Amino acid sequence: MMKIVIDTNILISAVLSPQGNPAKILALISDNDDMQLIYCAGILDEYARVLGYPRLKIASEKQARAISLVRVFGELVEPTMSTVPLPDESDRIFYDTAKDSGAMLVTGNIKHFPAEPFIMTPADFIEKLAGNESARI
């Protein structure tokens, strides 16, 4: 089973742009028994906080659907915090959750993370899945 952690920018992009790669990734998570979304309490709090930003103008129903998708198709974990240096400390929760769970981390802010093979952009993730027959894209 492939495990995946999605950065907040991926969830927001999926909600705001239903045709883009982030939306495809969310659809794959909900449609594919071989893919498991991984999150922790801190990530869920971050998702809810950012989805509620007034400037994003995301309807409360869409916010609730996005959080529900995470809860229904995700696995709640409690990661061990690392001391790996990161340019933006607020990204640590995503890095540590992915690293500790053996998951892929998909982010639109690749420069905020160390160059590690488990960290990739949405386009790179989709490309990786296209080469994996079990992904059923």
Domain range spanning residue 31? 2-135
Cβ count within 10 A of residue 137: 12
Q: Is the predicted pLDDT of residue 137 greater than 90, yes or no?
A: no
| Rounded Cα distance, 63 and 14, in Å | 11
CATH code of 91's domain: 3.40.50.1010
Number of domains in the chain: 1
pLDDT of 132 over the 90 cut: no
Q: pLDDT confidence of 32, banded at 50, 70, 90?
A: confident
Strand-strand pairing, 104-106 and 119-120: parallel
State the pLDDT confidence band at 92, using cuts at 50, 70 and 90. Answer: very high
Question: Is-contact 3 101, C-beta < 8 A?
Answer: yes
Contact between 23 and 14 under an 8 Å Cβ cutoff? The reply is yes
H-run or E-run covering 127 = helix 122-130
What percentage of the chain reaches a pLDDT higher than 90? 91
- pLDDT digit string (tens) for 36-87? 999 999 999 999 999 999 999 999 999 999 999 999 999 999 999 999 999 9
Residue 131 in 3-state DSSP? coil
